[in-house]
Structure 1
Amino acid sequence: MTRKRKPYKTYTKEFKLEAVRLMDESDRPATDIAMELGIRRNQLYKWKEQLSNKGNKAFEGPGRPKKQDQSEVTTLRQENERAERGA
């Protein structure tokens, strides 16, 4: 039986920038900030890294490509990984 995955939750650029700002300027632990915002702690660190690497170009575009927009090679790799885990 295959379980259907929930769709990814998307966040605006402004939300991400504010979350990173809160983490940088607050004395509170990242865990507390993440719980308050309803996200995972490691997501805060990923957004902070993206912002430091890309600067103003961070968080542009739609994010992760939708399943139907992935290349055939990517889809085949994912299927192969699932098959290897199942074996």
Structure 2
Amino acid sequence: MKCISVYTKDFALFSDIYEQIMDAPPADNEELIIEGVTVSDAGEVPDQYIERMRVKPEVVVMKEKERNVTILQHGEVFEICMPSAQSA
């Protein structure tokens, strides 16, 4: 799965820029600044990563079923995980 890291703890701000990120995700090893928030390509993560994170009490897991995207929030970062083929 492809993973994009969004460095903010502000859910409202994340929600505001989410569609921009999905419309133009960062390229491999690229880092972008969108509305003052750092957004970077975090590379590939194994499918088990989401399951490992899901059991941690400090992690919030959100699912966008339409695009098969899982969003993890923990600490001051959101991670957008999507099937690799979708990112092409």
TM range (shorter): under 0.3
Greater relative contact order (Cα < 8 A, sep 6+) = 2
The alignment's TM-score, normalised by the length of structure 2, stands at 0.28
Which protein is richer in helix relative to its size? 1
Which protein is richer in strand relative to its size? 2
